[in-house]
Amino acid sequence: MDIETLEAPDPQPSFRGYTHAELESHFNLIRPALNWKAPIEAVVPPNADLNGIESAIIYFTGSSGEFIKRGNAVVVIAPGYWAMQE
């Protein structure tokens, strides 16, 4: 095994069939701007991978999200990491 293989990110699913990199990408769509641990309130397009976003919320914060369709968008709300620490 060479050094590049050892340093490559694990392509195997890490949570609900998503890799860590995929979960991070989904979370970045809805992560709070000031602090990732804060409550989440974001708007995503209706064609966004809502299962991926929900999985990312659970994976990174331990909370679950609520998805509300509003016109041509989906509002994503979740308590966030800090709320789960109480």
In sequence order, what E strands does 18-82 have?
Answer: 40-44, 66-70, 73-78
Is pLDDT of 6 > 50? Answer: no
pTM higher than the cut 0.85: no
* Mean pLDDT score across all residues of the chain: 88
Is pLDDT of 5 > 80? Answer: no
Radius of gyration for the chain, computed over Cα atoms and rounded to the nearest angstrom = 15
Is pLDDT of 3 > 60? Answer: no
Is pLDDT of 33 > 80? Answer: yes
Is pLDDT of 59 > 60? Answer: yes
* Structural domain boundaries in the chain: 16-30+38-84
Q: CB of 22 within 8 A of CB of 52?
A: yes
Is pLDDT of 7 > 70? Answer: no
Rounded to an integer, the average pLDDT of 19-25 is 93
